[in-house]
């Protein structure tokens, strides 16, 4: 039956897209969870990741999968640099200051990218074939994006749960003063958390290009910032795992609702998918104001 | 305490800016009467028009030098600068009251934002004393600033606002230089009609914005006139990340011809995902995105055979000879000269695309109208525009006197063949044969090109 086939195909793509969305949001939640700073310049870091994949591929023919660790290193070092120059001064400052500062960093990075690389829309083609599921075709590169997103999320989870640093980070989230009394260097934990958040975000930029390998330009981040905010709120703003699950749900909703909406005559289903996604967000927030995996409220 | 100090600082800054703003405005307004007075004795001997002597003509406008249209904005600026080189250095300026004066272009960066254009156009008229206005890029921005031009009664020349709706608002001073959006996909349909009468099923897939909707409303009408059957007609919202749901539905409709697009990123995404899902068609024509070389760089052989409409392409045959044949006057640089000036301002390795050419075409049209009318008076210029018919390197110019919509200029259709853009329609402008039907995605993966 064509309807069910299309629905299934769209849900598969929705799941892949959702995993990428999820990973692209984890960095935002990670930073907010630990530092209580909303990184409004989030999308600019995704853009940097996308350009990393693009340049590695076009200049050095480096497989985008290998760009993932490169992007992580770039992201971690940028995160540390930004933390020690700007963010450190903003800990405990009024929210507006940190909003403006991160907004400024975002604009700075976008304009810097435009200055060096120009405003063109770039892209690369990494064709490694596709798998035929008879209902739909899925390029291996998209499957890799899906798999890698899940693997990276799991690695992050085990770092947080199993290592000393992870324990320290969780301690700072739970009780800053308490952690300090126990000998945790809070500033260093902040620096590390911020760096991990940015590292994740830049890395997710590479995965975004595995899903959408075109349209890479200095201003591409805006759309992802918007979606990341929605997804982060959906998942409970301070929980990176919630963000991952939220991304997944958002992707499924966006693509899945299309098939159902297209059954109605005289509607533009695609324009309504966002309406459906946001309506579900509203309902979830009405039922559970702290988001799906948020705590019991602050 | 801290909060109070901050508040004081903010108030001080706001006050300071306000004072500075007033101070800036006043001197610019006061000196204007003085030169006018001085010049009155000069203009009294000449009995006819009581216009003060002008030293220069200012064309004012905004360009999108940052934001989502930054690419088009940059190319437009270079095109304008190249046209000004010809007007001022070769032609000696424009004719105002029997005297040749320089044409100047005063511009601001509108950051591709609707919110900014209105105040910039106010400023261009009131502070910068622009004589003629060049509209911003894109239909949305052109519509946003049009009321300002109307309010001050300034001629408002559109070089990048293709939407037909701009000209359905009853505006008096809006004049279009490029072909209206409704004509964008006409060439592709005419071409298919002439080479394959058996291709009947047309799919339309496009961005939900002002410009694209104008294009595809026109395309749908034209397709039905020619006897095609529109089997799919759906939009996607702006900045899509995944078109799979739409494309799987379109695939099920089994079209012969796919017409689609919106802007750059979504156009690239559309073709990539059609390749991913192996949605094959005999002919694919996408608006905007395929016009740029970056399209081919991004998609590689997947771009083979993809066609797209253009306002202009390097190689189109508009020349003084062609004008003579058509019985029209030719104005401005030849294509070769334009390319030379363009490279002087933009650098050797940048090629102009239609965004550069249409902006240059608009500046040339303004210069031609001022030359003909001999004045910068908006009413006189608008009347002159209604009667003008001429050719530039950008193509023909003729507007509908009522609405200001362009009716003289014709679109071209190009196709990516072996990594090059070949003009395939209309036959009189074509530089090569169309490749039809285009290779399938499977064939392109094997490295097949759209060349014979």
Q: Is the peptide bond before B51 cis (omega within 30 degrees of 0)?
A: no
A169-198 pLDDT, tens per residue?
999 988 888 998 998 999 999 999 999 999
Tokens of B237: 């919202």
DSSP-derived secondary structure letter, B409: -
Are B291 and B435 in the same domain?
A: yes
Whole-number Cα distances in Å, A252 to A131, B164, B308, B424: 20, 37, 33, 42
If one counts every other C-beta atom within 10 angstroms of the C-beta of residue A92, the result is 10
How close, in Å, is residue B321 to chain A by CA atoms?
A: 36
What pLDDT is attached to residue B125?
A: 96
Determine, yes or no, domain membership for A296.
no
Q: Is the pLDDT of residue A298 over 50?
A: no
Given CB atoms, is A167 within the 8 Å cutoff of chain B? no
> Sign of the CA dihedral B367, B370, B376, B380?
negative
Q: Is the pLDDT of residue A200 over 60?
A: yes
Tokens of A173: 């989230």
Are B364 and B425 in the same domain?
A: no
Tokens of B342: 């363009």
Nearest alpha-carbon partner for A173 in A43, A297, A73, A34: A34
What pLDDT is attached to residue A273?
A: 84
Tell if the CB–CB gap between A271 and B237 is shorter than 8 Å. yes
How much is the pTM?
Answer: 0.81
Determine, yes or no, domain membership for B170.
yes
Are B66 and B174 in the same domain?
A: yes
Could you give the angle at the alpha carbon of B88 between the alpha carbons of B83 and B91, nearest 5°?
90
Average pLDDT of span A2-12: 88
Q: A143: helix, coil or strand? A: helix
Are B329 and B422 in the same domain?
A: no
B191-250 pLDDT, tens per residue?
999 999 999 999 999 999 888 999 999 999 999 999 999 999 999 988 899 999 999 999
B372 vs A279 pLDDT, higher one: B372
Tell if the CB–CB gap between B248 and A6 is shorter than 8 Å. yes
Check if the interface score ipTM surpasses 0.95: no
Determine, yes or no, domain membership for A69.
yes
Residues of chain B contacting A263 with CB distance shorter than 8 Å? none
Whole-number Cα distances in Å, A94 to A38, A90, A91, A183, A298: 12, 8, 9, 27, 17
Tell if the CB–CB gap between B242 and A258 is shorter than 8 Å. no
B148 vs A290 pLDDT, higher one: B148
Determine, yes or no, domain membership for B437.
yes
B181 vs A275 pLDDT, higher one: B181
In chain A, the percentage of residues whose pLDDT exceeds 70 is: 98
What pLDDT is attached to residue A239?
A: 85
Of B74, B236, B272, the CB nearest to A213: B272
Average pLDDT of span B32-51: 44
Tokens of B20: 């500075």
CA B267 to chain centre: 18
A237 vs A33 pLDDT, higher one: A33
What pLDDT is attached to residue A93?
A: 87
Range of the domain at A51: 2-119+128-287
What pLDDT is attached to residue A119?
A: 86
Determine, yes or no, domain membership for A216.
yes
Whole-number Cα distances in Å, B274 to B242, B250, B288, B356: 11, 10, 17, 30
Tokens of A28: 């935002």
What pLDDT is attached to residue A75?
A: 97
Are B215 and B323 in the same domain?
A: no
Given CB atoms, is B298 within the 8 Å cutoff of chain A? yes
Are B227 and B165 in the same domain?
A: no
The number of domains in chain B is 2
CATH number at residue A152: 1.10.3470
> Is-contact A249 A13, C-beta < 8 A?
no
Range of the domain at B262: 183-310+418-445
Q: Is the pLDDT of residue B280 over 90?
A: yes
Which residue of chain A comes nearest to B269, CA vs CA?
A214
Model confidence band, residue B317 (pLDDT cutoffs 50, 70, 90): confident
Determine, yes or no, domain membership for B231.
yes
Are B227 and B306 in the same domain?
A: yes
Given CB atoms, is B269 within the 8 Å cutoff of chain A? yes
Given CB atoms, is A265 within the 8 Å cutoff of chain B? no
Determine, yes or no, domain membership for B405.
no
Tokens of A112: 């810097």
- Cα atoms in the 13 Å half-sphere on the side-chain side of A128: 12
B374-401 pLDDT, tens per residue?
999 999 999 999 999 999 999 999 999 9
Q: Which of A117, A119, A268 should be substituted to probe chain B, the one whose Cβ sees the most B Cβ atoms within 10 Å?
A: A119
Given CB atoms, is A8 within the 8 Å cutoff of chain B? no
Of A214, A219, A270, the CB nearest to B299: A214
Given CB atoms, is A143 within the 8 Å cutoff of chain B? no
Given CB atoms, is B252 within the 8 Å cutoff of chain A? yes
Determine, yes or no, domain membership for B406.
no
Q: Is the pLDDT of residue B429 over 90?
A: no
Given CB atoms, is A219 within the 8 Å cutoff of chain B? yes
Average pLDDT, rounded, for chain A: 91
Q: Is the pLDDT of residue B337 over 70?
A: yes
Model confidence band, residue B371 (pLDDT cutoffs 50, 70, 90): very high
Average pLDDT, rounded, for chain B: 88
What pLDDT is attached to residue A272?
A: 85
What pLDDT is attached to residue B68?
A: 80
What pLDDT is attached to residue B39?
A: 42
What pLDDT is attached to residue A284?
A: 86
Q: How far apart are CA A149 and CA A143, in angstroms?
A: 10
Model confidence band, residue B450 (pLDDT cutoffs 50, 70, 90): very high
Are B298 and B423 in the same domain?
A: yes
Determine, yes or no, domain membership for B226.
yes
Q: Is the pLDDT of residue B8 over 80?
A: no
What pLDDT is attached to residue A278?
A: 83
Determine, yes or no, domain membership for A295.
no
Map tokens 């539905």 to a residue: B249
Tell if the CB–CB gap between A214 and B298 is shorter than 8 Å. yes
Given CB atoms, is B258 within the 8 Å cutoff of chain A? no
Residues of chain A contacting B300 with CB distance shorter than 8 Å? 125
Determine, yes or no, domain membership for B411.
no
Q: Is the pLDDT of residue A271 over 90?
A: no
Are B371 and B432 in the same domain?
A: no
Are B299 and B336 in the same domain?
A: no
Which residue of chain A comes nearest to B276, CA vs CA?
A139
CATH number at residue B124: 3.40.50.2300
Model confidence band, residue B52 (pLDDT cutoffs 50, 70, 90): low
Q: Is the pLDDT of residue A14 over 60?
A: yes
Q: Is the pLDDT of residue B2 over 70?
A: no
Tokens of A82: 């930004």
Determine, yes or no, domain membership for B382.
yes
Model confidence band, residue A133 (pLDDT cutoffs 50, 70, 90): confident
Determine, yes or no, domain membership for A292.
no
Q: Is the pLDDT of residue B12 over 60?
A: no
B378-387 and B354-373 are packed helices; what angle lies between their axes, rounded to 10 degrees?
Answer: 110
The number of domains in chain A is 1
Are B303 and B423 in the same domain?
A: yes
Given CB atoms, is B277 within the 8 Å cutoff of chain A? yes
Given CB atoms, is B442 within the 8 Å cutoff of chain A? no
Q: How far apart are CA B32 and CA B270, in angstroms?
A: 54
Average pLDDT of span B317-343: 93
Are B437 and B290 in the same domain?
A: yes
Tell if the CB–CB gap between A255 and B241 is shorter than 8 Å. no
Residues 192-221, chain B, touching A (beta carbon < 8 A): 208
- Cα atoms in the 13 Å half-sphere on the side-chain side of A17: 25
Residues of chain A contacting B236 with CB distance shorter than 8 Å? 270-271
How close, in Å, is residue B9 to chain A by CA atoms?
A: 15
Residues of chain A contacting B248 with CB distance shorter than 8 Å? 6, 9-10, 136
In chain A, the percentage of residues whose pLDDT exceeds 90 is: 65
Residues of chain A contacting B252 with CB distance shorter than 8 Å? 2, 6
């Amino acid at each position: 039956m064509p309807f069910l086939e299309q629905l299934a195909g769209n849900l598969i793509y929705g799941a892949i897209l959702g995993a990428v969305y999820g990973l692209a949001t984890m960095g935002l939640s990670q930073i907010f969870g630990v530092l209580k700073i909303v990184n409004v310049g989030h999308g600019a870091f995704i853009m940097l990741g996308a350009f990393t994949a693009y340049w590695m591929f076009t200049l050095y023919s480096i497989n985008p999968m290998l760009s993932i660790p490169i992007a992580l290193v770039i992201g971690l070092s940028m995160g540390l640099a930004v933390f020690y120059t700007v963010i450190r001064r903003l800990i405990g400052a009024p929210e507006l200051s940190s909003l403006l500062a991160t907004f400024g960093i975002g604009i700075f990075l976008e304009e810097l990218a435009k200055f060096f690389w120009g405003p063109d829309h770039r892209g690369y083609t990494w064709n490694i074939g596709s798998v035929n599921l008879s209902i739909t075709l899925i390029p291996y590169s998209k499957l890799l994006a899906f798999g890698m997103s899940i693997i990276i999320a799991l690695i992050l989870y085990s770092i947080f749960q199993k290592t000393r640093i992870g324990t320290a980070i969780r301690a700072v989230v739970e009780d800053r003063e308490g952690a300090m009394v126990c000998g945790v260097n809070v500033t260093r934990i902040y620096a590390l958390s911020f760096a991990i958040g940015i590292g994740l975000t830049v890395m997710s930029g590479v995965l975004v290009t595995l899903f959408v390998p075109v349209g890479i330009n200095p201003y591409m981040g805006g759309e992802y910032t918007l979606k990341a905010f929605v997804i982060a709120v959906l998942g409970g703003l301070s929980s990176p795992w919630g963000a991952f699950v939220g991304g997944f749900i958002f992707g499924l909703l966006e693509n899945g609702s299309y098939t159902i909406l297209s059954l109605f005559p005289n509607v533009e289903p695609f324009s309504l998918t966002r309406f459906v996604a946001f309506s579900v967000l509203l309902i979830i927030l009405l039922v559970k104001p702290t988001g799906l995996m948020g705590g019991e409220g602050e | 305490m801290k909060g109070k100090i901050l508040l004081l600082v903010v108030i001080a800054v706001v006050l300071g800016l306000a004072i500075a703003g007033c101070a800036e405005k006043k001197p610019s307004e006061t000196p204007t009467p003085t030169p006018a007075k001085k010049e009155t004795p000069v203009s009294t001997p000449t009995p006819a028009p009581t216009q003060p002597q002008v030293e220069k003509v200012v064309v004012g406008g905004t360009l999108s030098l940052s934001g989502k249209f930054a690419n088009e904005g940059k190319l437009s600026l270079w095109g304008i600068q190249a046209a000004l080189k010809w007007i001022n250095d070769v032609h000696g300026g424009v004719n105002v009251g029997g005297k040749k004066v320089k044409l100047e272009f005063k511009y601001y960066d509108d950051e591709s934002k609707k919110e900014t254009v209105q105040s910039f156009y106010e400023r261009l008229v009131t502070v910068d004393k622009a004589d003629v206005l060049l509209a911003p890029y894109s239909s949305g921005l052109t519509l946003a600033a049009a009321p300002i031009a109307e309010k001050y009664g300034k001629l408002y020349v559109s070089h990048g606002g293709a939407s037909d709706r701009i000209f359905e608002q009853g505006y008096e001073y809006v004049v279009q230089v490029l072909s209206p959006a409704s004509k964008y996909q006409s060439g592709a349909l005419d071409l298919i009609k002439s080479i394959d009468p058996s291709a009947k099923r047309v799919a339309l897939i496009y961005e939900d914005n002002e410009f694209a909707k104008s294009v595809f409303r026109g395309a749908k009408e034209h397709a039905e006139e020619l006897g095609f059957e529109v089997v799919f007609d759906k939009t996607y919202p702006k900045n899509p990340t995944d078109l799979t749901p739409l494309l799987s539905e379109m695939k099920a409709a089994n079209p012969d011809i796919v017409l689609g697009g919106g802007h750059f990123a979504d156009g690239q995404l559309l073709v990539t995902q059609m390749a991913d899902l192996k949605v094959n068609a005999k002919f694919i024509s996408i608006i905007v995105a395929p016009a740029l070389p970056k399209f081919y760089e991004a998609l590689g052989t997947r771009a083979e055979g993809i066609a797209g409409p253009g306002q202009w392409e390097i190689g189109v045959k508009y020349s003084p000879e062609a004008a003579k044949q058509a019985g029209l006057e030719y104005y401005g640089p030849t294509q070769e000269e334009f390319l030379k000036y363009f490279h002087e301002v933009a650098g050797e390795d940048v090629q102009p695309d239609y965004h550069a050419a249409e902006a240059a075409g608009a500046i040339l049209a303004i210069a031609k109208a001022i030359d003909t009318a001999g004045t910068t008076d908006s009413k006189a210029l608008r009347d002159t525009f209604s009667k003008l018919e001429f050719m530039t390197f950008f193509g023909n110019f003729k507007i509908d006197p009522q609405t200001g919509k362009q009716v003289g200029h014709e679109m071209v259709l190009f196709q990516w063949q072996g990594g090059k853009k070949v003009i395939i329609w209309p036959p009189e402008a074509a530089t090569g044969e169309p490749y039809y039907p285009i290779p399938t995605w499977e064939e392109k993966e094997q490295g097949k090109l759209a060349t014979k």
